[in-house]
Amino acid sequence: MMRGKQKSLDTYADDLFPKMREWRRDLHRHPETGWTEYRTTWKIHEELKPLSFTLYTGEEALCAESRMGVPGDDELKQAEKLASEAGVPGEFLSRISGGMTGVAAVMDTGRPGPETAMRFDIDALPVEESDQPDHLPVKEQFRSCEDGRMHACAHDGHTAIGLAVAHFLHDHQKELTGKYVLLFQPAEEGSRGAAAMVEKGWLDSTDYFLGGHIGIENLPVGTISAGSDRFLATSKFDITFTGTAAHAGKRPEEGKNALLAAASFIQSSAGVAPHSGGATRLNIGQLKAGSGRNIVPDRAVLSGETRGENDRLNRYMLEETERMSRAAAFMHDVKVEFSTVGNGTTAGCDHDLKTIVTGAAENTAAICEVLDSVSLGASEDVTHMINRVQSCGGKATYMIFGTPLTAGHHHPAFDYDELVLKTGFLAFAAAVTEISRINEERYR
């Protein structure tokens, strides 16, 4: 019987693979950054509409005030205009307007059983995609159509996997028990979106929670990890120093130099003392300052992030950083605005659920090796979801789907072996099947 099931899972995946690749490439061609995934949301919605799910979007899917780092009105409007031009119907667009992107999809089998939630993140990055001829999206003509935006973190693949899982649930509805919640989450980059779905309550009655990521380590396709550890707690922040412009030659003393304040801040904050409690990080990733060569710069805008091996360490870094930004402003007699625009916490995966995932994977031929855990050393706002599930008594894990990478995550030449879409899908599908099977026994 296991043979049969195993065959059917792999065959199902093989059959669906061309479709998954097509979804992935379409999304790759049209990357949308956090809170502007208008077309993406619509595409997901369109794909799920024919299936046996109740769909939730806009205010029904998200808690608006729990969103972090929502772009300004101009940027949202501009994105909505582009989405409209890309074919998103006005009626649909108005429902998710103002950065209310993402979809929650719920399927109740009608049979007693556990509630299983799965999360797929859907946003892209502000990265200009490589135009080198050997970059697969160039060769195969699905390179990003949008200047300065790119799916460089595989969320296009995650979304494709999520759609495949939806089809699988729909197609196997009769054989499954319990309830299924699919969360197509916006704005994972910058750790901005998970909280808004968590606060809507989607995870308050979850028994099992599954998430996952393509890549991370250069594992071969066919290898997955049942869990992850060493999520870094993180905070994302923006800083604006505002001074006074002046003619640098005629009246230097009248200037209040925002760029000097920024330089002072950058140098000092790089030197926050390390902590005996564990690893910490600070990065000022972007700075834009000044208006002209001969004008004392009156404005400097920075974006950065802190991280720590746990929340206490991250808070230590964030507090030091914020104080230093205020001190740098004081130093150069300018104003400063410090705003936290995202945060992620740490989390641990449940041993029991990792065991289920590991056992389930044995039922597929395509997954040939399952690691217990992979060390992430990075931040992911799925931690908010994991923590909520666990605090309500459920089990949660975050899987890793092995694939060679052409370049690191967030790099312009980032790409992965598309066969990982299949193993990623199989990991979810096999786990879901196994959870159902286990509980069938339990409920019987």
- In the window 11-70, what residues touch a second copy (CB under 8 A)? none
CA 41 to chain centre: 14
Residue among 128, 65, 73 at smallest CA distance from 97: 73
Tell me the pairing of strands 395-401 and 208-214.
Answer: parallel
Helix axes 2-29, 155-171, angle to 10 degrees: 140
Residue among 79, 116, 117 at smallest CA distance from 98: 79
Which residue stretch of 51-59, 123-131, 205-213, 388-396 sits at the interface with a second copy (rule: CB under 8 A)? 123-131
Q: Which of 45, 67, 332, 437 binds a second copy (CB under 8 A)?
A: 332
Residues in 169-198 that interact with a second copy by CB under 8 A: 190
Residue 337 binding a second copy, by CB under 8 A: no
Cα–Cα distance measured from residue 259 to residue 5, given in angstroms and rounded to the nearest whole number: 63
Q: Which of 377, 419, 438, 440 binds a second copy (CB under 8 A)?
A: 377
Instruction: Give buried/exposed letters for 271-295 (b at 16+ CB in 10 A, else e).
Output: ebeeeeeeebbbebeebebbeeeee
Residue 402 binding a second copy, by CB under 8 A: no
Using only the alpha carbons of the chain, give its radius of gyration. 23
Residue 339 binding a second copy, by CB under 8 A: no
Q: Which of 41, 280, 383, 439 binds a second copy (CB under 8 A)?
A: 280
- Exposed/middle/buried for 229, CB within 10 Å: 0-12, 13-18, 19+? middle
Instruction: Give buried/exposed letters for 39-55 (b at 16+ CB in 10 A, else e).
Output: bbbbbbbebbeebebeb
Residues in 124-143 that interact with a second copy by CB under 8 A: 125-127
Q: Minimum CB separation from a second copy for residue 404, in Å?
A: 17
Helix runs in 30-71, H state only: 38-48
**Residues 313/280, Cβ–Cβ less than 8 Å:** yes
Q: Which of 89, 110, 277, 393 binds a second copy (CB under 8 A)?
A: 277
Q: Which of 86, 248, 419, 438 binds a second copy (CB under 8 A)?
A: 248
Output the CA–CA distances (angstroms, integers) from residue 161 to 17, 120, 157, 212, 400, in the order listed: 10, 8, 6, 10, 13
Residue 307 binding a second copy, by CB under 8 A: yes
Q: Minimum CB separation from a second copy for residue 31, in Å?
A: 14
Residue 251 binding a second copy, by CB under 8 A: yes
Which residue stretch of 14-22, 164-172, 348-356, 402-410 sits at the interface with a second copy (rule: CB under 8 A)? 402-410
Count of residues in contact with a second copy, rule CB under 8 A: 72
CA 179 to chain centre: 24
Residue 147 binding a second copy, by CB under 8 A: no
Q: Which of 327, 368, 419, 438 binds a second copy (CB under 8 A)?
A: 327
Residue 383 binding a second copy, by CB under 8 A: no
Residue 297 binding a second copy, by CB under 8 A: yes
Q: Which of 239, 262, 318, 389 binds a second copy (CB under 8 A)?
A: 262
Q: Which of 44, 118, 169, 260 binds a second copy (CB under 8 A)?
A: 260
Residues in 213-232 that interact with a second copy by CB under 8 A: 232
